[in-house]
């Protein structure tokens, strides 16, 4: 007998949807990962080739977050227990 989560994960990986599952999980858990204050000013817009794209609501926050990129990378990777992302690309925009 296998756990259903293990079976589903294998199917997602087989059909190339593992990245979309990770992207969805990051979006769903963003406040837990980034923290309440950062999450209030940002949202993850996508994941492509281990690059997480994050939209920031102002240039002031964008500047501030450039100093915390390594911390955010570590928080995301720690949340998954493995190296999911290598870098974060920050861009100003609206939700």
At 54, which CATH number? Answer: 3.30.300.180
Q: Domain of 63?
A: 4-92
Tens digit of each residue's pLDDT (9 = 90 or more) over 16-59: 677 788 899 999 999 999 999 999 999 999 999 999 999 999 99
> How would you list the strands of the sheet with 42-48, edge to edge?
42-48, 51-56, 87-92
pLDDT(5) > 90 = no
Residue reference for tokens 């939209």: 55
Q: How many domains does the chain have?
A: 1
Burial 40-61 (b: 16+ CB within 10 A, else e): ebbbbeebeeeebbbbbeeeeb
Rounded CA separation 35/4 (Å): 30
- Residue 14 banded pLDDT, cuts 50, 70, 90: confident
Entry pTM: 0.84
């Amino acid at each position: 007998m296998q756990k259903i989560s293990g079976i589903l994960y294998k199917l997602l990986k087989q059909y190339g949807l593992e990245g979309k599952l990770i992207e969805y999980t990051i979006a769903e858990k963003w406040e837990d990962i980034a923290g309440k204050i950062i999450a209030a000013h940002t949202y993850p817009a996508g994941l492509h080739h281990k690059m997480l794209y994050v939209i920031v609501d102002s240039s002031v926050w964008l500047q501030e977050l450039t100093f915390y990129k390594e911390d955010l990378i570590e928080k995301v990777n720690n949340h998954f227990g493995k190296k999911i992302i290598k870098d974060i690309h920050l861009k100003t925009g609206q939700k």
